[in-house]
Amino acid sequence: GTVSKVEIKSSGSSSYDTTCLKSEGASFWKCDGGYPLSVPLSVKLTNEDGISLTCDGCITSADSVGPFDFGSNFYAGTFAPTSQTPAPVPVPTATPTVDLSCDGATNARFVTHE
């Protein structure tokens, strides 16, 4: 599914204090709150169905650009045949990745690749 929310947890934090929303086009996110960020960062991606993927401590440097692999993908539901017709086979989609760029102490930009 389509990513609808990105949350960031800074090193040493117990909660995702930074929330990112789409504001500058289809794949660009503007992040607010929880600054300054300190690495390693944990990221939570939530899709439009409310399913979340997390990568704990996967962003280890603000100086390098990803991608950072979440190791899995969004998938909700199972396929169950309702007749003798074979069940449809789900088409695999790319694992979501996130690219990170920073322009100082207060702005972080993430680019999602779905």
Q: What pLDDT, on the 0 to 100 scale, is given for residue 14?
A: 92
Give tens-digit pLDDT for 89-98: 666 655 555 5
CB within 8 Å of 78: residues ≥ 6 apart? none
8 A C-beta contact, residue 20 and residue 7: yes
Distance (Å, whole) CA 60 – CA 67: 12
Q: What pLDDT, on the 0 to 100 scale, is given for residue 113?
A: 54
DSSP state of 97: E
For residues 31-54, give the mean pLDDT: 88
Average pLDDT, the chain: 74
For residues 25-52, give the mean pLDDT: 86
In this predicted structure, the answer to whether residue 24 has a pLDDT above a threshold of 80 is: no
